[in-house]
Amino acid sequence: MKRTVSMLLAAAMALVLLAGLAGCGTQKLTFPDGPKKLAYVPLDDRPDNVERAEYLAESLDYDLLMPDLDLYATKLDGQPLNADGTQAGDQAALYEWVLAQEENGCDRYILSLDQLLSGGLVSSRAMMGENSVTLANGSVLTETELLDSLLSLLSKDPNNQVWLLDSVMRLAPTVGYGGFGLNEYNALRDYGIAARPHLEGDALRVENIVADYRLGVDGQELEVRSAEPLADGAVENYLAARVRKLRLSAHLLGALDGGAYANFHVLIGVDDSSAEDSIQKNEIGYLAANLRQGDWLLSGVDDLAFKAIAKLYLQDCGWDGARVSVRYIGGLEAQPACDYDYQPLDTLVDEHLEFFDLKKLSKAKDADFQILVLTAPAEPERTGDYAWALINALGESRENRIPTVLIDASNNAYGTVIHDALAEQAELGSLLAYSGFLDMAIVTGTAISHGVARYAWLTHTPSPGKDDGANSAFIKALSDSVIKDFAYRNTIRNDLYVYVRDELGGSPDNFYRPEIDRGLVLSALEADMATSAAPVLSNFRSGKILVGLSPWTEADCGTLTLSNYRFPWNRVFEIGMDIHRQASASKS
């Protein structure tokens, strides 16, 4: 009798545990032959598209395969060119690299079409017309022929899972590339923001969208207002680049309209945008109307790889969703978080929840994990109250063992105050994910993709606490985001701007225009990081990371060290660095 009662109690407890993870699925994912190979052609060579993507993939037990750096690097004006003699990626070599991965048996792909068809995001904003690509064997393909060939070849293996990343061109091209300057950027961004005639239904076609590029809502031709005269053809070239970009995206969606491409998924990101009814509105409307089931259009571009890697893992692990609570602190969630978003912050968050099959609940205690979002302060005089509320919410989450994603969507409204408070009073390593660097649309997608990926990994890996390689990659991804936001964005970066401009007589946006002693800039970065990153590194060193949910298990973060600092685009805006972790064996 006692044995029967014990068995019943054990069964009941098991049901309770399963109920606590409702929606997560119980399938445990293992790749029998070791890490699954994942072929990845990145958007460009900035850190978010390279090392951060590597960390995320490795934290999910993928072996991320990437082409040689020179094949996808972007070079700003005046900088040393790539091996093919251009400022952009090598479309032919990248196409052939993908085919080589297919020949070697790879069956997981995340491919940036801006890179494969245009040589990178920046180049995609400047290219015009149809361009030819010459392969190593001498054959010549147009860009659309290259795309069609790639899709056809990858579709032959029914085991392939392919994510194709695309973008809606932003409102203006890139300063410092192809001779494009700040005056042109400001003039064309204002021109792009102006509302165009709104198209709907059958009228929402590429030819109509293109025809309306020059027209305002009144049907009259728009004027370009510029502080200084624009270069000849600046407006024409800008519109021609938009036409090319839209036609390529339309061709992609049309080419995939068939049963042979059921395992292909398109993820389109809206690049730097505006809440106004801009030149992007009809483009977005057209693309959204032509997406297939399983394709998505979301705000944000530099986070596309994160979202695709996370979504691919959810596919592989048999994900059937989870329950999540979202709490906003600051009071401005109903409006865009910065000037480069076209949606309110809460709408942007909700769309990402839908993308990852997350059901939003009102109470954290009923959810599988929670998302805390710090907005800009609705009442600036109460910034201290908002900061206290955030710290208190994180403390309660730790006490109640609620896995938590933290998003700083305040757009720098709190300065260093909130970062100092978090470094002193929160256990940063215990978070599922954090993001606060760069534009707010990117911040949202970055944090949620990392957070849901980590939660899914914890619930679908047989022994998550024993996989030190994946846990080390996770802590690198988390600490990279925190360190760059806390230590670099608000303090060091501003100081380096002044140092390069005022003391070295150079441009913070391009160390080659004019050319300066880049070693001096690197030395200044290393010295500043040694001081500014110390509190964050100390926080991680004394903290824990979550390595198991059932039962709740934590492990020491270990000791993190930073090395090999670099400026990948030879500008101050972003940095790269290597993160090393010396793990501790102790758990609690």
* Digit-coded pLDDT (tens) for 539-563: 999 999 999 999 999 999 999 999 9
Secondary element (H or E) of residue 156: none
Which residue would you say has higher pLDDT here, 275 or 297? Answer: 297
319-339 mean pLDDT: 95
DSSP for 370-435 reads EEEEEEPPSSGGGHHHHHHHHHHHHHHHHHHT--EEEEEESTTTTTTHHHHHHHHHS-GGG-SEEE
Secondary element (H or E) of residue 277: none
CA pair distance 208, 483, nearest whole angstrom: 47
> Nearest 5°: phi and psi at 159?
-85, -10
CA dihedral for 513, 516, 522, 527, sign (positive or negative): negative
CA pair distance 373, 357, nearest whole angstrom: 19
Among the CATH numbers 3.30.70, 1.10.490, 1.10.150, 3.40.50, which is that of 321-460? 3.40.50
Whole-number pLDDT of residue 111: 98
Please state, for a pLDDT cut of 70, what percent of the chain lies above it: 93
Whole-number pLDDT of residue 27: 65
Q: How many CB atoms lie within 10 A of CB 234?
A: 21
How far apart are the two ends of the chain, measured CA to CA in Å?
Answer: 36
For the segment 309-322, what is each residue's pLDDT rounded down to a tens digit? Answer: 999 999 999 999 99
Whole-number pLDDT of residue 20: 38
Q: How many CB atoms lie within 10 A of CB 535?
A: 15
Token pair in block for residue 276: 């106004």
Helix, strand and coil in the chain, % to nearest 5: 45, 15, 35
498-513 mean pLDDT: 98
For the segment 134-152, what is each residue's pLDDT rounded down to a tens digit? Answer: 999 999 999 999 999 999 9
The torsion region of residue 28 among left (phi > 0), alpha (psi -120 to 50) and beta comes to beta
Looking at residue 491, the DSSP 8-state letter turns out to be I
CA pair distance 57, 38, nearest whole angstrom: 8
For the segment 185-228, what is each residue's pLDDT rounded down to a tens digit? Answer: 999 999 999 999 999 999 999 999 999 999 999 999 999 999 99
Mean per-residue pLDDT over the chain, rounded: 92
The torsion region of residue 423 among left (phi > 0), alpha (psi -120 to 50) and beta comes to alpha
For the segment 472-505, what is each residue's pLDDT rounded down to a tens digit? Answer: 999 999 999 999 999 998 789 999 999 999 999 9
Whole-number pLDDT of residue 517: 98
Which residue would you say has higher pLDDT here, 136 or 438? Answer: 136
Tell whether the model's pLDDT for residue 11 goes beyond 80: no
CA pair distance 503, 341, nearest whole angstrom: 35
Q: Which amino acid is at 101?
A: Q
345-367 mean pLDDT: 95
Q: How many CB atoms lie within 10 A of CB 526?
A: 13
Q: Where in the chain is the domain with CATH 3.40.50?
A: 321-460
Q: Give the Å distances, CA to CA, from 555 to 72, 458, 539.
A: 37, 13, 14
Which residues lie across from 266 on neighbouring strands? 164
Whole-number pLDDT of residue 32: 62
For the segment 215-267, what is each residue's pLDDT rounded down to a tens digit? Answer: 999 999 999 999 999 989 999 999 999 999 999 999 999 999 878 899 999 99
CA pair distance 268, 273, nearest whole angstrom: 14
Tell whether the model's pLDDT for residue 21 goes beyond 60: no
Which residues lie across from 406 on neighbouring strands? 372, 434
Query: CA 539, 428, 305, 313: dihedral to nearest 10 degrees?
Result: 120
Looking at residue 74, the DSSP 8-state letter turns out to be -
Which residues lie across from 37 on neighbouring strands? 63
Q: How many CB atoms lie within 10 A of CB 57?
A: 29
Q: How many CB atoms lie within 10 A of CB 119?
A: 27
